[in-house]
Structure 1
Amino acid sequence: MSLHNRLTLLSTAIVSVLLAIFCLFLYLIAQQYRKHEFLNRLRAEALTAGHLLVGQDRIGPDLYKLIDKNQLTVLPDEEIIIYDAKNRLIYESGTDYLTVTPSILARVRELETTHWREGDREIVGIRFAEQTAPYLIFASAIDSRGVRTIQDLAKLLGGGWFLMTGIMLVAGRYFMGRILQPISRINQRIDEITASNLSLRLPEGKSGDELTQLAQRFNRMLNRLEEAFRLQRSFVSHASHELRTPLTAITGQLQVSLLADDEPEELRATLRSVLDDVRGLNRMANGLLALANASMDSSAVPMGPVQIKALVEQVRHEVQRLQPGCTVELRVESQNESDDDWQLTGSEPLLRTAFFNLMDNGCKFSSNHTVTVSLSATGKSFQLTVHNTGSVIPSDQLTAIFIPFQRGRNASGLPGFGIGLPLTERIVKLHQGQIEVHSSAEAGTTFVITLPR
């Protein structure tokens, strides 16, 4: 069943049930009102009979029966019965609709007034004590007019309920169709969106309701997907280019060596060149693998306690070992803090790669091959600053350097594949941190990493 039909039936059922409850409540109120009014009339008839038959200003039974016969005050099928103090019947209106038992007489004397129902007949019994000796007066009748009125009301309410349920069903189907029309447009547009046509967006509308918010969020998701597809295509294109260049060089050198009759020294030089190209491919493959690992969800990356101060010192020694001509100056603020105060939760291999990339780049681009590293701790985070005085990154490329295979113009002629900084950024974001870069001719280039404790 479609959502349109389900919502229509649900709304109709809810309104129908509420309307039925209201009609039933109205019917019960009317029924109670009829019963209350009729019993009051019966009590009035009993009191009137008491005043006229056994009261101080009484009239004769024959005259009262004459009045009763001409229906001047009687109710439909009315019967009046009067008993004296010794439970002797002293008056009966002439009909024989009601049978009064001794238990009923005793109950009326005890309660002074009571009422009950036998079939369609309503009965009221009262204790009339206008004179010294109390009398028991019973008045009974059938409220045929009131019952017909209540029955007509029940039919009217039932017919109105059926009519309003039908109207609600038709109106609900119409209005639910109007309400769900934006969903139909959204579904139609979603069917038109494919991997080759991600630029299409859903109609958002201007109402600001939940459907508009859903379309807006879906469009934002499409923006992210389109950007991811664009980056993927760019990544594949650049990776193919970067891989093709060394592979072409290796293929050419090996073909030339096979065709030429070179001396052993020349062959060794060719093999050394091929080995350098293979090492470059190895570094690129490792970088691409690390980039793929850093792109995973944080829940899929093993996390544990990391001593960031000790890790930075280890990376500093490793950079200086691999690049003997480079100097890495480490400055640690808050020297009085214990080792536990420098601990955070993260992936030590990934953080090691991120720190190494920044320090290695600093050595590579620094004019004096000197890198200044500062590590500081605050109440909620750690901050690592890597500074060098090398060539300036153009301001229009400060964000592009974090895109895979995108290198700044200042990197022209220097070895690299454009993987290190994008990898570093993804590692920092994987640890819920932030990375910033500032570059100017006066202050040099500074990378700032902020990681939460």
Structure 2
Amino acid sequence: MTIRTRLTLLFSSIVSTLLLIFCIVIYLESEYNRQHEFTISLREQAMTSAGILFGKEEISPDLLKLLDKNQMTVLTQEEIVVYNSKNENIYESGTDYLTINLGILSQIRQKREFSFQQKDREVLGLIFNNGKEELIIIVSAMDKYGLSKQQNLGLMLIFGGLLMVLIVCLTGWFFAGKSLKPINNVIRSIDGIGASQLNLRLDEGNQTDEIAQLAQRFNKMLNRLEKAFKLQRAFVAHASHELRTPLTAITGQIQVSLLANDSPRELKLMIQSILEDVQQLNRLTNNLLDMTALDSDDTKTIFSLVNVAELLCQVREGLLKKYPQCQIILELDENLDLLPEVIAHEGLLSTAILNLVENGVKFSPKNQVKIKFRIYAKELILTFYNEGIAIPEHEQSQIFEPFRRGSNSRNTKGYGIGLSLTQKIINLHHGTISVQSSENQGTTFILKLPKN
């Protein structure tokens, strides 16, 4: 069931219920007024009859004729019955429509005036004192005119109510469709947006109502999707290029070695070069796999307490073995009251620190990196400083994107993956990483890790 149908049914149900209650109240009020007015007519007829009888010692045939003559002709099938104090019927006019028993007479004497219905007739009984005794005068008739009006009113309310319900349904359907038209427009616009049209955006309308807010949120999502698709395309393009470069070098060296008749020493050097290219290719592939795993949240991250000071020393020793010519100056915090431990994934955190140190070694003219380690109550702060070329200010916010490299670093070997991978690892640990770089001042990466 569509929202339009549900809204129409809900609106129609509410209005129909209110209309039904209104019609019932109108009908019952009209019925009450009819009975009240007809009771007044019966009372007037009873008092007229009582006035003729008042003061007479006995009821003669002439009096009976006078009573019949003065009966009100507006009452349909009227009947008047008079009982004396002994409950004896002393007068009766009209056809014998009524059935009067002692219970009814007793109620009339008790209440002094008693009205009730008998079949389709309205009946009123009251007490009249003629000076000698209390007489019971009972008047009954059919309210043919009032019942006819009441029946007409009922038919009008039924058919009028049904007509109003139909009008309400049609009106509700129309206005529900009009209210939902912006949503239908949004649906059509969304249907027209594919992977190749992510630059399209939804019309945000008046920018104030709920549909406009929905369009705004969807446009923000499209912005993120468009950015993600662009990054994906750039990632594939750069990855293809970076993978092709070492593969091309390996292929060329193998072809040369097959054609040339070199000495064993030259072949050994060539194989060494091929091995370096294969190692770089392997590292690039591993970094790509790590990035993919982090993006897809597919890593089996087992967190534990990690001593960051020990981890820094291990990374330093490993790089010094790999690059004997580099200088890694490690300045540890002397605050022994606080443990240099964080809850982290040791392997991933080691990779992040290794990337930052190796990045500093590559870009420093002296192959030198200074690492400062500070311990605070709630966080650890590591700074990695090198005196290499500065990163242009307008590029500093982009260097953490995959395969993004500074415009002045083209001559330095690398793939532009390390910093992106490092940022993802730090984000996984709920930490932050930032960069400060200026001309003649070098570059500093600031890494903050929460202890909890």
TM-score, with length taken from structure 1: 0.85
Q: Are 1:404 and 2:406 an aligned pair?
A: no
Q: Distance in 1 between matches of 2:168 and 2:225?
A: 43
Equivalence for 2:199: 199
C-alpha distance 46-348 of structure 1, shift in aligned 2 (>3 A)? farther
1:387 corresponding residue in structure 2: 384
Unaligned runs of 5+ in 1: none
User: How far apart, CA to CA, are the structure 2 residues paired with 1:87 and 1:67?
Assistant: 20
Inter-partner Cα distance in structure 2 for 1:332 and 1:28: 93
Partner of 2:107: 107
Matched, 1:373 2:372: yes
SS in structure 2 at match of 1:307: strand
Look up the equivalent residue of 1:15 and give its one-letter code. V
Equivalent-residue separation in structure 2 for 1:223 and 1:254 (angstroms): 46
Residue 234 (structure 1) aligns with: 234
Q: Map 1:12-411 to 2 at 5 A.
A: 12-46=12-46, 49-50=49-50, 53=53, 66=66, 69-72=69-72, 75-128=75-128, 133-206=133-206, 208-297=208-297, 301-302=299-300, 305-307=303-305, 310=307, 312-324=308-320, 325-331=327-333, 335-337=336-338, 344=343, 347-366=345-364, 369-377=368-376, 382-391=379-388, 392-409=390-407, 411=409
Q: What is the percent sequence identity of the aligned residues? A: 43
CA distance in 2, matches of 1:181, 1:243: 51
AA aligned to 1:35 is: Q
Separation (CA, whole Å) in 1 of partners of 2:419 and 2:21 = 70
Determine helix, strand or coil for the equivalent of 2:108.
helix
Change (3 A) 1:56 1:399: farther
Alpha carbons of structure 1 residues 29 and 434: separation in structure 2 relative to 1, 3 Å? farther
Distance change (3 Å), C-alpha of 1:294 and 1:377: farther
Residues 336, 166 of structure 1: alpha-carbon distance in 2 compared, 3 angstrom cutoff: same
In 2, are the aligned partners of 1:123 and 1:139 still within 8 Å (CA)? Answer: yes
Distance 2:131 2:374 in 1: 112
When the two chains are superposed, the root-mean-square deviation of aligned CA atoms in Å is 3.3
Within 2, Cα distance between the matches of 1:230 and 1:132? 114
Note the C-alpha offset of 1:272. 0.7
CA 1:85 to 1:407, structure 2 compared with 1: closer, same or farther past 3 Å? same
Letter aligned with residue 406 of structure 1: R
| Code of the aligned partner of 1:233 | R
- Aligned mates of 2:270, 2:70 — CA distance in 1: 139
CA contact (8 A) 2:387 2:442 kept: no
Could you tell me the TM-score, scaled by structure 2's length?
0.85
Aligned length: 443
Moved more, 187-196 or 257-266: 187-196
Q: Secondary structure at the match of 1:261?
A: coil
Report the alpha carbon displacement of residue 265 of structure 1 after superposing the two structures with TM.
1.0
Q: Partners of 1:46 and 1:72 in 2: how far apart?
A: 10
Residues 283-292 or 207-216, more deviating: 207-216
Q: How far is the alpha carbon of 1:245 from its aligned partner?
A: 0.3
State how far apart, in whole Å, the 2-side matches of 1:129 and 1:257 are.
144
CA distance in 1, matches of 2:216, 2:37: 63
